[in-house]
Amino acid sequence: MAKARLSMRKIKEVLRLHYHCDLSGHQIAQSCQMCRSTAADYLHRFEKAGLSWPLPEELSDEEVEKKLFPPRNSVSSGKPLLDFELIYREIKAHKKFNLTLDLWWREYKEQYPVGYQYTLFSVPYRRRQKKLAYLMRQDHRSGEKLLVD
């Protein structure tokens, strides 16, 4: 909680220096002891959130933070959350029909045209695949095969 208050103070200081003191991005970054890109990101998020300076007094710090940093994969983005477990099970179950991740993504894009592009769709899936523990169980009938070490 204290960290959130500290970051909110920094954000408000960046906004004050920009709108009230009319300082440049470099000057704001030096004053707040942060990178220029961080200060620019705060200003960009502020403009994107549609807020005005000075901030309305009835708006709490938590509400301002939610507007500036909305949760990822929120419903408002228009992109549904991806269930990689379901995708994995479907691909595994329909292997004989040559169901691939690419085909799965094409069906997804037909359903959600503003959805994720292929890279943002496949990279998390492949990362998840690397974490899976693979087992290779082999059943042998005695005398059927000769295994030499």
Q: What is the pLDDT of residue 72?
A: 61
Asked if the structure places residue 138 within a domain, the reply is no
Are 64 and 87 found together in one domain?
Answer: no
Asked if the structure places residue 63 within a domain, the reply is yes
Mean pLDDT rounded to a whole number for the chain: 79
Are 82 and 119 found together in one domain?
Answer: yes
Are 52 and 95 found together in one domain?
Answer: no
* Distance (Å) of CA 91 to CA 80, 81, 87, 103: 19, 18, 6, 10
The pTM score is: 0.48
Provide the domain count of the chain.
2
Q: What is the pLDDT of residue 3?
A: 52
Q: What is the pLDDT of residue 5?
A: 57
Are 81 and 57 found together in one domain?
Answer: no
Q: What is the pLDDT of residue 59?
A: 80
Stretches where the chain sits below pLDDT 50 are: 1-2, 74-76
Asked if 42 and 15 touch (Cβ cutoff 8 Å), the reply is yes
